[in-house]
Amino acid sequence: MSSPFVALALAVLALGLTGACKGKDEPAGGARASGAAPVAVAPPPFAGTLTVDRVMGARNLVKPFDPWEPGFAILQAQVGAPTRVDGARHTWAAVEGDACAWFYVTRELGADYQVEGVIVGTVQAPTRATRGEAPVAHAECLRAAGKDPGPPEDPAAAGPPPDGRPVSLSEVRTNVIAGRSRWKDRTVTIAATLGPVTTTSSGADRYVTVALRAGPDDAGAPLPCALEKNAPAPALAAGAAVLATGTMTIQEWTQMGTGEITLRPSLSSCTVTAAP
């Protein structure tokens, strides 16, 4: 009487063993391999033109304490590579006309926050600013986009003479702000008239700044020419014709009240000699 039941039990056991072997050695359709977890593939970075709308759309993509690598990949899929990186701060900014939008996140060590790995730290939400409504915020956004505040550059503005010859202060005034990307950080020699000389001290150090004018009766803003630290003041009388050689610097000035940003040229590491 027991033989049919024994046969049935043996058949079920054999079927179970066959299925187990198949599951171990022949993964169904190759869906899994050796129990390994599936590997997440990072989305490709955005490679198009970054717009104000796209920057403003990068909201709530990451949050503080998210793992950095996947979070950074998500951000780049939306807005591409950062337009500016300052240490831990990664910023994205886009400019369209007088509008500018930007946001930033910071990359932090999780150990500083009792968290493992590298993480997302501060997350600034996307912000939009216009030149007329929020000039200070607009200027900050422009810098994040790799642009200088101030008026748009004029492609027709002349740059410094390629042969290094002296250029008049009148020519500098006409071209230096309009074509500032060609003047900034360049060594320039300016033919000018010596104006007032100012000396200040800090401890044992002395700093001399010479004002350059276009002529004896020049009513325009003088161009400051800062000598090297502890360099002696030039032994020349005010009104003398001089050649001033230095590194062109573009300084930003914020107007009190309105917050408007203006740009002014000056020379640093300057030397002043009598004109021949």
pLDDT for 211 equals 97
Block residue for tokens 């290094």: 164
SS3 195: strand
| pLDDT tens per residue across span 103-134 | 999 999 999 999 999 999 999 999 999 877 88
Please report the domains of the chain, with CATH numbers, ordered by start residue. Answer: 52-144 (no CATH), 167-274 (2.40.50.140)
- Tell me what pLDDT residue 81 has: 96
The pLDDT assigned to 3 comes to 46
Measured CA to CA, the distance from residue 189 to residue 56 in angstroms comes to: 45
pTM for the structure as a whole: 0.62
Does residue 6 or residue 242 have the better pLDDT?
A: 242
- According to the model, what pLDDT value does residue 40 have? 63
Judge whether 83 and 91 are in contact, CB under 8 Å.
yes
Give the pLDDT confidence score for residue 190 in this predicted structure: 97
Residues 198, 1: Cα–Cα separation, whole Å: 121
Closest CA to 271 of 245, 238, 235: 245
Rounded Cα–Cα distance for residues 152 and 136 (Å): 16
Phi/psi of residue 245, nearest 5 degrees: -115, 130
Instruction: Indicate if the pLDDT at residue 19 is higher than 50.
Output: no
Q: Which two structure tokens, joined as six digits, stand for 108? A: 């932090």
Q: Are 264 and 271 in contact (CB under 8 A)?
A: no
Query: How far is it, in rounded angstroms, from Cα 179 to Cα 184?
Result: 9
Residue 235 in tokens: 């032994």
Binning pLDDT at 50, 70 and 90, where does residue 35 land?
Answer: low
Q: Mean of the per-residue pLDDT values for the chain?
A: 86
